[in-house]
């Protein structure tokens, strides 16, 4: 009985070691990325341990800006001039507020500072609050005594006046100097017109 037990034990040990050796060989042959012998130190030279996370080291995750926030930032940058004008016109309760986009578009189309249409309207009519009845003329454009140039609406006025700014008043350095524009826009002014326009330019800057 004792001999039988010893025989079986020896057979078990031999077959176990044989099975272990076969399994180890199989793993090393078919899975070259598998760590042989269970030793991490043996393969550290190959860089395998570089990708293993150390639970004792702190991790810092940088939060990426949300897609929604990126859109808002882009929109804010692209529409800066329009928003500046809109807020300014809203502050004074001007009916031109809803035409803020058009004001910027026309300024770009005819190549003059986007603030001109707003600053002159502020100087001439307090942003359309004091204009000849039903004229939609906020810029004192073509008004001489009893003669009043009228437009169908504020959009019509903007579209018709903007190209004339470039042709008549905003040539060369005049595009940046209210004092020079004043000489042709309103010659009788003693300088107060240019001072007012300059001040409104600063408010819109």
Collect the ranges in the chain with pLDDT lower than 50.
Answer: 26-53, 58-64, 67-68, 70-78
Instruction: Give the C-alpha separation, 103 to 97, whole Å.
Output: 10
Instruction: Give the C-alpha separation, 40 to 45, whole Å.
Output: 10
In this prediction, residue 134 carries a pLDDT of 93
In this prediction, residue 105 carries a pLDDT of 96
In this prediction, residue 77 carries a pLDDT of 47
**Which H or E run contains 21?**
helix 2-30
What counts of helices (H) and strands (E) characterise the chain? 8, 0
Tokens of 27: 């793993």
Instruction: Give the C-alpha separation, 82 to 88, whole Å.
Output: 10
Domains assigned to the chain: 70-204 (1.10.530.10)
Nearest of 127, 159, 157, 126 to residue 142 by alpha carbon:
157
In this prediction, residue 204 carries a pLDDT of 81
pLDDT in tens, 165-189: 888 777 655 556 788 778 777 777 7
- Helix axes of 67-78 and 80-91: crossing angle, nearest 10 degrees: 70
In this prediction, residue 79 carries a pLDDT of 60
């Amino acid at each position: 009985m004792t001999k039988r037990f010893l025989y079986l034990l020896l057979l078990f040990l031999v077959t176990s070691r044989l099975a272990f050796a076969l399994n180890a060989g199989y793993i090393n042959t078919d899975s070259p990325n598998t760590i042989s012998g269970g030793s991490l130190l043996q393969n550290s030279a190959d860089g395998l341990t570089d990708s293993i996370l150390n639970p004792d080291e702190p991790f810092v995750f940088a939060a990426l800006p949300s897609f929604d926030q990126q859109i808002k930032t882009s929109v804010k940058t692209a529409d800066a001039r329009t928003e500046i004008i809109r807020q300014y016109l809203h502050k004074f309760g001007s009916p031109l507020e809803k035409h803020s986009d058009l004001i910027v578009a026309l300024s770009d189309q005819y190549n003059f500072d986007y603030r001109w249409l707003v600053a002159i309207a502020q100087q001439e009519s307090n942003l359309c609050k004091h204009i000849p009845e039903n004229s939609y003329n906020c810029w004192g454009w073509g008004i001489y005594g009893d003669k009043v140039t009228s437009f169908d609406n504020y959009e019509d006025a903007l579209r018709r006046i903007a190209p004339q700014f470039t042709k008549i008043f905003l040539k060369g350095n005049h595009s940046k100097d209210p004092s020079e524009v004043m000489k042709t826009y309103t010659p009788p002014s003693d300088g107060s017109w240019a001072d007012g326009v300059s001040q409104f330019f600063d408010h819109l800057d």
